Structure 1
Amino acid sequence: MFTVTVNEEMLAKLRSMLEDEDEGTCVRLREYTLGGGCRSRIILGLALEEKDEDEDESVTVEDVTFIADGDFLLRYGRRFSLGLNEEKQVEVKALDSDN
C-alpha cells in the first residue's frame, strides 16, 4: 500500500475530472519526460486510467482512488503529496525520494 496526501481543493478538481470518465477510472501517479535531448527531465504527474489488477496498487482518499504500478513505487517511494502550485497546476511530490 502507498499513501497520498491531498488537499480538498485538489480532490475537488479530481472529482470534477472523473465525472466525465467511465466508472472504474482512477487517478494514476506516473512520470513524464519533459523536453528532449540533454535538457530533458522527468516530472511526476497524473493520468486518468483504469486499474491493472496485476500491476497496480491502489489507495482511496475520501472517494478518489489513486493507482501506481510497482515499478513507479520502487523508483519513487510509497508516500506522495498532491496539490496545486501558484499557477494552479498539478504538483506531485515523492516524499521518500531524492529524484
Structure 2
Amino acid sequence: MFEVTVPEEMLEKLRDMLDDEESCVRLREYKTGGGCHSKIVLGLGIDELDEDEDERVQVEDVPFIAEKDFLLKHGRKYTLSFSDKKEVVLTPAGE
C-alpha cells in the first residue's frame, strides 16, 4: 500500500472531479518541454483502476491509484499541495 497526504480543500475539489464510481485519481508522470529542455514532473489524472498494474489507496472517500512501476521509481509516500498559483503539486515524501 502507498500513502498520500491530501489537504481537505483539495479532497473537496477531487470529489467534484470524480464523475462515477469507477473513476480514481491517478498519480502519474508528465513530460514537459521538448528536446534537451524536457523534464519529468509528477501530477494527477483521472482514470480507472487496472487491477493487474495498479495499487489503490483510499484517502477519506477519494480513491487514489498508481502503477506499481511508478511506485517503485518514485517511492510509496506522497504529499499533495497547492502552489502559489493554485496549481496542484505532487511531491514524493521520502521513506
Quote the residue 1:16 is aligned against.
16
Whole-Å separation in 2 of the counterparts to 1:94 and 1:64: 19
Residue of 69, 72, 75 corresponding to 2:70: 72
1:86 has 2:95 as partner? no
Q: Which runs of 5+ in 2 are unaligned?
A: none
Residue of 31, 38, 43 corresponding to 2:36: 38
Whole-Å separation in 2 of the counterparts to 1:83 and 1:25: 21
**Where has structure 1 moved over 3 Å in runs of 4 or more?**
none
For 1:2-50, what per-residue CA distance to the aligned partner results, in whole angstroms no more than 9, with x for missing partners? 00000001101101111xx232100000000000000000000001000
For 1:35-70, what per-residue CA distance to the aligned partner results, in whole angstroms no more than 9, with x for missing partners? 000000000000100000111001100000000011
The DSSP-based 3-state class of the residue aligned with 1:13 is helix
Using the aligned pairs only, state the percent identity: 59
Q: Which runs of 5+ in 1 are unaligned?
A: none
Amino acid at match of 2:12: A
The DSSP-based 3-state class of the residue aligned with 1:27 is strand
Whole-Å separation in 2 of the counterparts to 1:87 and 1:30: 21
Q: What is the aligned residue count? A: 95
What is the TM-score with the length of structure 2 in the denominator?
A: 0.96
CA RMSD of aligned residues (A): 1.1
The DSSP-based 3-state class of the residue aligned with 1:32 is strand
